[in-house]
Amino acid sequence: MKELITKNLEVKDEFNYGLDKASNSYESTLLSRPISLRLWSSFFVILPIFVQAPWVRLEPISALCFTFVILLGAYVLNKKQSNKWFIVSSLLYGVSGSWLGGCLFWGWLSPYPILHIPVEAVVLPLALIGLGTNWKIGSSFYISSLFGTAVTDITIFLIGIMDQWKQVIIADSESAPLILQKTSSNLIQIKSLSIIFLVAFILWFISKEIFDSATINTTYGKALLVSSYVIQTTLIVDGIFIFLAILQPTFSGLV
């Protein structure tokens, strides 16, 4: 009888060990692989484009309040005391900063492009402080997103279509297509295309340098990878919108 009980306990221990091992393996691979971080980072970059942008135009107050939902989600995941969920939690904190700035600008200040970056940078001091803490992943996400936005705005200014920003925002449905058509024609000028390709190369080079210096084995390394992925995704998204703006002006990223 004693031997039977002992054998059963050994089998149970082996079973529990197998479950723990599988769980630890799942946790260590879910967000400890570059492809996982890339997917999460890219998802959180693209999310505001297809969700926040139309939402904030229709209901800016409710979109702004959703910032607190994101923060609550980050808080709950952090309470799970699990490394994989801590990474997601950290990313969500970074996303909440970008979401807040985006809602404040596009909800009430969109006709004033000069205020775009200052408003989007509303939580930049907190993000800079976060780089020196365990929350550096979320901080790097926010700062990299802000950097990508700033580069996009500078590019718009350099190619000479910043003045059309306000015109498009305040235009009615009849005059907006004409303004966008003019914007499209400006984009296919040699000067504009040269600037766009130069900026794209610089962004690609920066993201590559960050990626090459990163490692997946440390929090700092993960933060660098997130920065690289955010810049890469921003570059891809901007490229798609520029292509669509030339092909079909009504899809211009100005609106």
The pLDDT tens digits of the residues spanning 111-153 come to 999 999 999 999 999 999 999 999 999 999 999 999 999 999 9
- pLDDT tens figures, 65-124: 999 999 999 999 998 877 778 888 999 999 999 999 999 999 999 999 999 999 999 999
Kindly state whether residue 10 falls inside one of the protein's structural domains: no
Structural domain contains residue 23 = no
- Is residue 24 one of the residues assigned to a domain? no
89, part of any domain: yes
Query: How far is it, in rounded angstroms, from Cα 112 to Cα 250?
Result: 21
Residue 117 falls inside a structural domain: yes
Compute CA 201 distance to the chain's CA centroid, rounded to the nearest angstrom. Answer: 20
Count structural domains, the chain: 1
**Interval 168-192 mean pLDDT:** 78
Binned at pLDDT 50, 70 and 90, residue 19 comes out as very low
200 in any annotated domain: yes
Q: Are 252 and 180 in contact (CB under 8 A)?
A: yes
Question: CA of 136: how far to CAs of 142, 181, 227, in Å?
Answer: 10, 42, 10
Predicted confidence (pLDDT) per residue in 147-172, tens digit: 999 999 999 999 988 888 878 788 77
Q: Which helix (H) or strand (E) holds 139?
A: helix 136-158
pTM of the model: 0.85
Please give the average per-residue pLDDT across 186-204, as a whole number: 92
Residue 74 domain-assigned? yes
Range of the domain at 139: 33-251
Find out whether 193 and 6 touch, Cβ atoms under 8 Å: no
CB burial class (10 A; 0-12, 13-18, 19+) of residue 159?
buried
Residue 221 has which token pair?
Answer: 């390394």
**18 found inside a domain:** no
Tell me the pLDDT tens digit for each residue of 36-51. 889 889 999 998 888 9
